[in-house]
Chain A
Amino acid sequence: MSPLNLDPKKAAPTQWRSLDELAMSPEFQAGLEREFPEGASEATELDRRQFLQVMGASFALAGLTGCDVVRRPKHEILPYNNAPEHLIPGKPQFYATTVTVGEEVMGVLVESHQGRPTKIEGNPQHPSSQGATGKLQQASILDLYSPNRSQKVLKNGASSTWDAFWGGMAPVIDGFRANGGEGLRILSGYIVSPSFAAIKQHILREFPKAKWVVYEPVNRDNARIGLLGAVGKPVDAHYRIESAKRILSVDSDFLESELNHVAHARAFAKTRNPDLGKAGMSRLYLMEARYSVTGGVADHRIRVKPSMIPAALALVARELANQGLTFQSGETQLIDSALSASNGTIAEFSPQLISELAADLAAHRGASLILVGKHQPPLVHALGHAVNRLLGNVGTTVLYKISPTFAFNQDSPASAVAIRDLAADMEKGVVDTLLMIDANPVFTAPADIQFTSHLSKVRHSVHLGGEVNESAQAALWHIPQSHYLEHWDDAISFDGTTSIAQPLISPLYTTFSKSEVLAKLFDYRYRESLDIVKGHWMSRSGALGFEIAWRRWLHDGIIETGALPDSGPGSSSGMDAFLKAHSSSDEGSREGGIELMLFEHPNVHDGRFASNSWLQELPEPITKLCWDNAAYIGPSLAQKLGIKDQIILKNDKGVPMGQYDKPMIKVTRGGHSLSLPAWILPGMADETVVIHLGYGRKKGPGIAEGAGFDAYPLLDKRVGQPLSVQVEVTGSTYTLACTQDHWSMESRPIVREGDLELYERRPNFSADEFMNPHPPLASLWEEHDYSKGMQWGMTIDLNSCNGCSVCVVACQAENNIPVVGKGQVIRGREMHWIRLDRYFTGDVDDPGLVFQAMLCQHCENAPCEAVCPVSATVHSKEGLNEMVYNRCIGTRYCSNNCPYKVRRFNFSNLTNHYSESEKMQKNPDVTVRFRGVMEKCTYCVQRIEQARIGFKNKGNEVIPDGAIVPACAQACPTDAIVFGNINDPKSRVAVLKAHPRNYGVLTELNTKPRTTYLAKVRNPNPAILKLSRSAT
């Protein structure tokens, strides 16, 4: 699909010639100037036709709005002047590029329609993607077109120009040439780009006295320090999850928020296939205080108070020692200090549990794995690696390889330290110039160092970023940064895979990449981002045959650099020094009382995605909250605080719903306090409060502003470190938007779950043990014959699905699904075609968690069809439940009659106020729905039809299995969603539908759904089950 770009200099630009014209054309500029940050639910007027005329022929049919059959007024067709090569109007093209979020580097393919990038897909050749993506990568394309983007240079908040900026900075830089960079500070995120690192080297060489500060509020510094202590080399741990039979995760949310989580999720899912049997299927133990999605899939989830987590691991280690593992002296010290570091009594752990756990691990030497969460203190990491080594996992399930990006960042200490040093220098007034490169320290820096107030002491503060955020407003200069799809770049992923990031569109506004800005400021030998990247790699691989290599890199999206060498187990010789540095109590928290844990938000991360409306409206996986964050507390703490929330207390009786007004609580830490709504989350550790960071942007751009509550002021230590707080109920309430009110399955056979023992005893337990008793499903008439031709169907494996929600975002991007805003979500009008249902099972204090993607089931006897008075929803001969928007008159009867309630209605006009730029993201192959029509999952019928036409044009009438992949299946990291022709017995989907775990939801209604599910099978430790049974 992705054509070779011959001359790279031309290749990229010519693709979007018409957009060059567009970007420069006055009316378009005007259109963009007009945009100002505002809520997703508000409207900005636009004139579609004018826009179309600017956009050219290809968009005229792009399906931007609803029906106008009558011809007048006249439409124009604007052809190219010089036609770009490879371009067939109406056929999307795919280009490989790279997305970088913090430390996470992911190779992706970007779908482009006549020069408009519209959708991000995973790059199958890139190890950290393998064809899938994370939700942040999926949603990142919206930032390109966001009306909240920063579009012009600001000086003291007033509109200014680039020339003014260059002119203003030139003397400053000259000054630094004189003093060797005295007082020059450059603050950036973690550096993964070799070419950018080269610029950094250049600057530090030219200005030896300058300092470079690497600051990531959410970082892996603890893991690095711990590894340095345990291994003695600057290595990264590479986990071979696919070959681990027993996994103990110590507060490690490795399926959602840890580095490389997409690849981990895929690998882990492979080990969860119950057909592997007792010997083959993995077992996951997890100790955590919060409730993470990884906790949801765990076989044994052990609730531990934050400050007790180190102790928990230490106890396991000690138990292992008792069972015959011999720790070295340093490591025993680790255990002791871990135990001492945690205040709580270790009595609250059941010793039998610990011993059974340890026994299970010990029984799987070389095939077990200890994972420690990035927020745990270094000594826990060190301990984790020690245990891994003793269990013989190093070399089998854990590999240590020298970190390829270590060199880029080594001259800056750990973020937490670095930012404090910087603040100190600023306070001393020794910082003359501070360049904040694509970072937002004013918002994310710990409150106690008063970064903002010190910033005023800096003479020249410059902020480079994609949006006018807190730092931009506090700085002297703000200069707009181009989106990663607008400039050339490169990145090296932690496993050494290096990839080129090529632009798909020339900058919509006059913006520059961070490389370009620094190159120009500090007079680097290249200026254009293309030259910077190309130049860097030419200097590496030499000019000989470079062009051919370069073209291949662009095509594949990766530069195959040989896999990093395994640096072996290393030695714990540095352990003593490490212990001195880190076992001291400042790391552990002897704080006790009610403990607060601050984490990055799974959707908006540390706040950098807060203005992305897709991610704002995407329900948080566990609580299903959107547009806000909240203080999560367990039921026990709620009762202690006297909070009566019927949702949880009356859970299984009655249906208390529509109660979105949540009680506010005041969380106080030292001088700072924060009032925010309390959300009762079953399964939280007792006496624990969890708050997600990244919300409550004060002067945040656009929709970010006013959404949620800013917890950074409470942060006076590392992110994720337990902080003791006082909590009181304020008495006032706050309205939260939640997309799933009800928590319990009401003991209905919806998500069907069993353990491995049951499965092996009765492979099709899901069908016979759960089905509601019902009379035989006889039909009154001769049923329609679906045995011929291609018949589409889907299976969703509940064992693989971990609820990460990337499918929801992918679907939104592919199908032009509008965002409705908080108010409408509260009214129950969210538009997501995929509702990722989340149910808690069992005891409210320590429940299990299951997810189920609920989307149109394409029932063969679809109840929705019979009741539509105008035949707007009917069945295709290939078994699709078709929804014809332009026939729909909006009686909403179909939704009433849908037992799965998967239909969505355009109650208001959600699509006629897109900004000019937002329209450019829309997929031209899918109608943008208008007010008053119903919509729902179509199995991505546009992809089916394109594939069909493609194959038929080539003369073959059958579409091979796997040629059609719906957006959700494509994005899914765990491959849980499989789509295909159920009439072809060899197709994957047909095989899965024949699988004993396969079952349909509500089949007793004789709806005959085409979407079916594979029952969930956990692999709990029988010994531990026995314990809990005897306990009760």
Chain B
Amino acid sequence: MEHAKPLGIHQSADGSRLDASDSQIPVKLFGMLAEFASPGEIYEAAKKIRDAGYKHWDVHSPFPIHGMDRAMGIGQSKVGLIAWVGGLLGAGGGFTLQYWVSVHANPFIIAGKPFNSYPAFVPVTFEPGILLTAFGAVFGMFFLNRLPTLYHALFKSKNFHRFSNDAFFVSIEARDPKFDLQATEKLLTEIGGKNIEVVED
């Protein structure tokens, strides 16, 4: 089993911190990365990590894997809620604008129609509704995913870039209370992780 990091790190009791007296350059860990061969394997692995009680960890795959949310035990997405609010704002705002303009700001007699000719206001109520729903969904997703994040520790890994091709990874973060260099590494090896490496932050 080969190690990505110099032995010095192993001598420290707690991987997250090194006491100042230590002569080595202080390094902060991001966490540990392990590669899996197929969706099937990583699916099983995820269940095990979930059962091991880890909280701050994630699965990296070139495409969404069916059932993975459940396998990882993460709850519902909040994107829908944000989109819904956006939609209400859009439609409400659209109609209010039209009503105000046609009844109060410019009460013109047009084609003998009433000032509040609401049937004609449907399209411009509908379209802003759609628009803001879409905005809510997309920008909400960006917000929830903290994107864009151009810099990320994982990009330091020399294997990781293959996640967008045909490789599957599990990353467990050092800030997870249950994180421990040996224990975590052991767990990953047991569930069949390859090229296990420690990733600096």
Mask of A851-868 contacts with B, CB within 8 angstroms, 1/0: 000000000111111100
Is residue B113 within 8 Å, beta carbon to beta carbon, of the partner chain? Answer: yes
Closest Cβ–Cβ distance, residue B142 to chain A (whole Å): 34
Contact status B111-A862, CB under 8 Å: yes
Contact status B111-A863, CB under 8 Å: yes
Is residue A877 within 8 Å, beta carbon to beta carbon, of the partner chain? Answer: yes
Mask of B19-49 contacts with A, CB within 8 angstroms, 1/0: 0000000000000000000000000000000
* Contacting residue for A875 out of B106, B108, B114, B117, CB 8 A: B108
Contact status B108-A874, CB under 8 Å: yes
Q: Which residues of A in the span 329-372 have a Cβ within 8 Å of any Cβ on B?
A: none
Contact status A871-B106, CB under 8 Å: yes
User: How far, in whole Å, are A864 and B114 apart by their CA atoms in the complex?
Assistant: 16
User: How far, in whole Å, are A860 and B109 apart by their CA atoms in the complex?
Assistant: 9
User: How far, in whole Å, are A936 and B136 apart by their CA atoms in the complex?
Assistant: 47
Q: Which residues of B contact A875 (CB under 8 A)?
A: 108-112
Interface centre among A779, A781, A863, A877 (most CB of B within 10 A): A781
Q: Which residues of A contact B113 (CB under 8 A)?
A: 781, 866
Contact status B110-A866, CB under 8 Å: yes
* Contacting residue for A877 out of B109, B112, B114, CB 8 A: B109
Q: Which residues of B contact A866 (CB under 8 A)?
A: 110-111, 113, 120
Contact status A865-B110, CB under 8 Å: yes
* Contacting residue for A781 out of B106, B108, B109, B117, CB 8 A: B117
Q: Which residues of B contact A861 (CB under 8 A)?
A: 111-112
Closest Cβ–Cβ distance, residue A889 to chain B (whole Å): 16
Contact status A865-B111, CB under 8 Å: yes
Q: Which residues of A contact B111 (CB under 8 A)?
A: 861-866, 875
Is residue A784 within 8 Å, beta carbon to beta carbon, of the partner chain? Answer: yes
Mask of B98-121 contacts with A, CB within 8 angstroms, 1/0: 000000001011111110010010
User: How far, in whole Å, are A714 and B51 apart by their CA atoms in the complex?
Assistant: 113
Closest partner residue, chain A, to B112 (CB atom): A861
Contact status B109-A874, CB under 8 Å: yes
Closest partner residue, chain B, to A780 (CB atom): B119
With A781-B114, A781-B117, A782-B114 known as contacts, the answer to whether A871 contacts B108 (CB < 8 A) is yes
Q: Which residues of B contact A860 (CB under 8 A)?
A: 112
Closest Cβ–Cβ distance, residue A6 to chain B (whole Å): 49
Contact status A783-B110, CB under 8 Å: no
The B contact surface, by secondary structure, is: loop
Q: Which residues of B contact A1008 (CB under 8 A)?
A: 112
Q: Which residues of B contact A779 (CB under 8 A)?
A: 112
User: How far, in whole Å, are A871 and B110 apart by their CA atoms in the complex?
Assistant: 8
Q: Which residues of B in the span 73-88 have a Cβ within 8 Å of any Cβ on A?
A: none
Interface residues on B, range: 10 to 19
Closest partner residue, chain B, to A874 (CB atom): B108
Q: Which residues of A in the span 829-876 have a Cβ within 8 Å of any Cβ on B?
A: 860-866, 871, 874-876
User: How far, in whole Å, are A937 and B106 apart by their CA atoms in the complex?
Assistant: 24
Mask of A110-135 contacts with B, CB within 8 angstroms, 1/0: 00000000000000000000000000
User: How far, in whole Å, are A226 and B89 apart by their CA atoms in the complex?
Assistant: 90
Closest Cβ–Cβ distance, residue B187 to chain A (whole Å): 66
User: How far, in whole Å, are A862 and B113 apart by their CA atoms in the complex?
Assistant: 10
Q: Which residues of A contact B108 (CB under 8 A)?
A: 871, 874-875
Q: Which residues of B contact A865 (CB under 8 A)?
A: 110-111
Closest Cβ–Cβ distance, residue B114 to chain A (whole Å): 5
User: How far, in whole Å, are A863 and B111 apart by their CA atoms in the complex?
Assistant: 6
Interface centre among B110, B112, B117, B120 (most CB of A within 10 A): B112
Closest Cβ–Cβ distance, residue A833 to chain B (whole Å): 21
Q: Which residues of B contact A863 (CB under 8 A)?
A: 111
Closest partner residue, chain A, to B108 (CB atom): A874
Contact status A874-B110, CB under 8 Å: yes
User: How far, in whole Å, are A866 and B102 apart by their CA atoms in the complex?
Assistant: 12
Closest Cβ–Cβ distance, residue A600 to chain B (whole Å): 47
Closest Cβ–Cβ distance, residue B94 to chain A (whole Å): 16
Closest partner residue, chain A, to B120 (CB atom): A866
Closest partner residue, chain B, to A867 (CB atom): B111
Q: Which residues of A contact B106 (CB under 8 A)?
A: 871
Closest Cβ–Cβ distance, residue B105 to chain A (whole Å): 11
Closest Cβ–Cβ distance, residue B92 to chain A (whole Å): 23
Q: Which residues of B in the span 104-159 have a Cβ within 8 Å of any Cβ on A?
A: 106, 108-114, 117, 120
Mask of A752-794 contacts with B, CB within 8 angstroms, 1/0: 0000000000000000000000000001011110000000000
User: How far, in whole Å, are A874 and B120 apart by their CA atoms in the complex?
Assistant: 16
Q: Which residues of B contact A783 (CB under 8 A)?
A: 112
Q: Which residues of A contact B117 (CB under 8 A)?
A: 781
Closest partner residue, chain B, to A1008 (CB atom): B112
User: How far, in whole Å, are A398 and B168 apart by their CA atoms in the complex?
Assistant: 114
* Contacting residue for B112 out of A862, A871, A876, CB 8 A: A862
Interface centre among B108, B110, B114, B120 (most CB of A within 10 A): B110
User: How far, in whole Å, are A810 and B110 apart by their CA atoms in the complex?
Assistant: 30
Interface centre among B108, B109, B110, B111 (most CB of A within 10 A): B111
User: How far, in whole Å, are A182 and B134 apart by their CA atoms in the complex?
Assistant: 101
Closest partner residue, chain B, to A868 (CB atom): B110
Q: Which residues of B contact A874 (CB under 8 A)?
A: 108-110
User: How far, in whole Å, are A30 and B114 apart by their CA atoms in the complex?
Assistant: 57
Q: Which residues of B contact A876 (CB under 8 A)?
A: 109
User: How far, in whole Å, are A784 and B111 apart by their CA atoms in the complex?
Assistant: 10
User: How far, in whole Å, are A863 and B106 apart by their CA atoms in the complex?
Assistant: 19
User: How far, in whole Å, are A495 and B114 apart by their CA atoms in the complex?
Assistant: 59
User: How far, in whole Å, are A779 and B114 apart by their CA atoms in the complex?
Assistant: 11
User: How far, in whole Å, are A871 and B114 apart by their CA atoms in the complex?
Assistant: 15
Closest partner residue, chain B, to A860 (CB atom): B112
Closest partner residue, chain B, to A783 (CB atom): B112
8 A-B pairs with least C-beta separation: A866-B111, A861-B112, A875-B109, A874-B108, A865-B111, A865-B110, A781-B114, A784-B112
List 13 other contacts, CB 8 Å, given A784-B109, A863-B111, A1008-B112. A779-B112, A781-B114, A862-B111, A862-B112, A865-B110, A866-B111, A866-B113, A866-B120, A874-B108, A874-B109, A875-B111, A876-B109, A877-B109
Query: Can you list 23 residue pairs at the A/B interface with Cβ under 8 Å?
Result: A779-B112, A781-B114, A783-B112, A784-B109, A784-B112, A861-B111, A861-B112, A862-B111, A862-B112, A865-B110, A865-B111, A866-B110, A866-B111, A866-B120, A871-B106, A871-B110, A874-B108, A874-B110, A875-B108, A875-B111, A875-B112, A877-B109, A1008-B112
